[in-house]
Structure 1
Amino acid sequence: MEALLSIDYTYDFVADDGKLTTGKVGQEIEEALVSLTKQFIESGDFVVMAIDGHDPEDYYHPENSLFPPHNVIGTSGRDLYGSLKPLYEAHQDEAHVYWLDKRHYSAFSGTDLDIRLRERHITKVHLTGVCTDICVLHTAVDAYNLGYDIVIHENCVQSFDEEGHRWALRHFKNTLGAEIR
């Protein structure tokens, strides 16, 4: 069984005026990311929207000193970007489409994601979203450590750091044994 994890494809990470945006390169993957997500939804596979959620007054959270406030809970910055938003909204009440709030880079850290995947006998995860070298990377490392097979859809991931993006793609393949499509 397989699942799609759509990581942080939100307004703050993709829109031109997003708080921590990938900008144009993040926008360029929208069509491929939405098309792949639609395929997974229509096939009835488990689809997870793993979305960063921050409280800027959580003075203990390390990201608050590393990055400007972004994906703040209760703001439109956490909205899914572009045509991913209406696709999700049209299917959000379906049991195989799941919104996952996360506080850390990895979608597995401090969440019930591993339990939900194992309940469904999922052994392979497909990763999409931003940023390739941060949240996608940390999710992939945790997936590897938990024994999942990993597929990275190269045309569905991006970063605001081109060098980090390229490095992460090599790392997925050469260190985690991920399939790059």
Structure 2
Amino acid sequence: MEGVIVIDMLVDFVGGKLATGRESAVVEPIASLLAAARKAQRPVAYVGDAHLPHDPELRVWGEHAMKGSEGCRVIPELAPQSSDYLFEKRTYSAFFETGLDSLLRSSGVDTAILTGLHTHLCVRHSAADAFFRGYRIVVPIDCVTAFTEAEQGSGLEYLHRHYGAELVTSADLVRRLA
């Protein structure tokens, strides 16, 4: 069974401190996929940065998505529903010390559909952890983006080559879930 994971679709990443302008293109495809997943009664999990002041990532990216701040909230266009799950992360991976793996296993999920930001960073590290935990990985290419087109392309290539990620479109997945 598939589970949809929404990574870092947060205020600070979409229109905030770390926005590049590319993020808005993935909002509608993610919203469509989430609607289909909920209708098919598939688990939907949001995993977003909620940093503490001494997290190592802040040395690289500066202060962003600080725990309890507006910047670490999911953007309103993708607001979680009552049936969804929310997890906070302090590293690039959606799996590292978040409880996501336990939720997916207890829900019977064997396939992780990864969406969100950024293809070459948090999606990539989440895919690695999903792969090493035995999940099949599906990445809808219109539901992920990176800082640049080059990083997007290399990120998708890496996911496919090293983790066997199935690269599809959100429309393909919506049809599959129907």
TM over 0.5: yes
**Cα-Cα RMSD:** 1.1
Report the 3-state secondary structure (helix = DSSP H, G, I; strand = E; otherwise coil) of the residue aligned with 1:10. coil
TM-score by length of 1: 0.89
Runs of at least 4 residues off by over 3 Å = none
Tell me the residue number matched to 2:173: none
**1: CA distance between counterparts of 2:17 and 2:47?**
18
Cα deviations by residue, 1:131-169 (Å, 9 ceiling, x for unpaired): 111100000011111110000010000111322211110
Matched-pair identity in % = 35
Tell me the residue number matched to 1:73: 67
**1: CA distance between counterparts of 2:47 and 2:109?**
16
Deviation at 1:42, TM superposition (A): 2.0
Report the 3-state secondary structure (helix = DSSP H, G, I; strand = E; otherwise coil) of the residue aligned with 1:45. coil
> Pick from 74, 78, 87: which aligns with 1:84?
78
Report the 3-state secondary structure (helix = DSSP H, G, I; strand = E; otherwise coil) of the residue aligned with 2:143. strand
The answer to which of 137-146 and 37-46 deviates more is 37-46
Give the alignment of 1:85-124 within 5 angstroms: 85=79, 88=80, 91-92=81-82, 94=83, 97-124=84-111
Structure 2 counterpart of 1:14, one-letter code = V
Asked whether 1:153 is paired with 2:150, we answer no
Q: Give 5+ residue unaligned stretches, structure 1.
A: none
Give the alignment of 1:125-144 within 5 angstroms: 125-144=112-131
Deviation at 1:82, TM superposition (A): 4.2
Aligned residues: 168
Q: Give 5+ residue unaligned stretches, structure 2.
A: 169-178
Cα deviations by residue, 1:31-79 (Å, 9 ceiling, x for unpaired): 1111111111222110000111112x22xx2111101211111211112
